[in-house]
Structure 1
Amino acid sequence: MARPTPSLTLALLQARESAMDFFRPHLNQHNVTEQQWRVIRILWQAEDQTLESYQLAERACILRPSLTGVLVRLEQNGLVRRWKPETDQRRLCVTLTPQGNALFDSMKGEMMRQYQKIQQRLGPEKYRTLMGLLDEVQKLDPDDPQ
């Protein structure tokens, strides 16, 4: 019986775990989970640091029901604020608080140093290639007959 081809999804997960090993100690030092950090970073990068919850869930790769729990804890810690616009109570918006911004600012230097370590170990060309390939994979459409 022929061996199955290597699993792309498993390889991506294993690579993610290896990459996260660079960041976990810093996250743990600040008592921030990986999901909480993704939410904080994505909000920090958003145009006015505000997104609707469905946008945030999509960008952070967190299922909506799980995101609710993450947001509750972040709100309890004073890092985000959730609110519904008066014009449309069906929407739920999330914004980074000044305390959330301060946390991001205090963490970003070390996080950037870890990214630099990864780049140095891979080399700039391999890092650019990796990021380019990951971008291509993200854009693949499973329904495209090509």
Structure 2
Amino acid sequence: MSKPIRYTLATLSAFTVLAVAYLWLIFASPFFYSPPENLPVIEDDATYSVFVYGTLTKPWVRWLVMGRSAEVELAELPGFRKDELDIQADTGAIVKGQVILVNADEFRALDRYERLGVRYERIELTLQDGRSVWVYRLLKKE
């Protein structure tokens, strides 16, 4: 194998290792995030419905965060509009998204990914069809 090809393969391998390490640190690791003390309790034997409308609509992101891509159901959240990485109250608007069902460990992983209490808050809202779901919203800057 020629030197340029070996160099290219070594560079690609190093880049791949760095990319995987970075994605793990951001999406799955417990490092760089300490949850605030006042977060709601997550019961270990419960299942939670979560409405997602941004990066978590991508199966590969859910797989990185939760360890599985999860089945999704299309859903609509009335009274809100999408605003980049957030949703804002807006009478008459509807945010299209997906509902995923998660267990307690996956819910904690989503909280860690969203940096609950630091970057996002988790609130309970009602979908167009009347179901209650958890939704992540950016914390308001004071």
Q: TM-score, normalised by structure 1?
A: 0.29
Greater strand share, structure number:
2
**More relative contact order in 1 or in 2 (CA 8 Å, sep 6+)?**
2
Of Structure 1 and Structure 2, the greater helix share is in 1
TM-score by length of 2: 0.29
